[in-house]
Amino acid sequence: MATIEAVRGDITTQRVDAIVNAASTALLGGGGVDGAIHRAAGPRLLAECRELRRTRLPDGLPTGQAVATGGHGLPARWVIHTVGPDRRAGQDDPALLASAFRTSLGVAAEVGARTVALPAISAGIFGWGREEVARAAAETVHEHTPETLLLVRFVLFSEELLASFRDALDLD
């Protein structure tokens, strides 16, 4: 059974096998976590994402799905890109939010990761409330973490998000 943690910090500095990127469908960087990961990883990440778009995902990555790339300039070996639902655009189905967490964990296991760090997917500009995201993350990680994962760490950018995740995960 995986150890589950919630910490405040910068996901780009985590020394884990894989980090999860709260990406856009285009996979080409942007703001928030997505922009920070692309900046920290360097231009080779963008080049790999462009190649993915050209060869495998011409219409972009669907909401709730995940795909892996190399970590490039990051401490993590892999970046797992997932697209969370955008509540502001009418994507308010909690199943899509859970799917983003679930498929990210599955892809991490598929590439051989034993440790993974995840952000609060859809809690930023995509308009989901921090308690909803924390609850979805907690339920998903408890029900769908592959046995090969030894550590699941939620890396959160604010004290408010950290408190919500610690409550939802029932961490002291």
Question: Catalytic positions, please?
Answer: 34
The sheet with strand 115-118 has its strands ordered as 3-8, 151-156, 115-118, 18-22, 78-82, 66-70
Burial of 62 (0-12, 13-18, 19+ CB in 10 A): middle
Q: Where are the alpha helices (DSSP H) in the chain?
A: 32-41, 43-55, 94-110, 130-144, 159-169
Q: Is residue 2 a contact partner of residue 142, using CB atoms and an 8 Å limit?
A: no
- Kindly give the pairing relationship between strand 66-70 and strand 78-82: antiparallel
Nearest alpha-carbon partner for 119 in 37, 42, 33, 36: 33
**From the CB of residue 127, how many other CB atoms can be counted at a distance below 10 Å?**
14
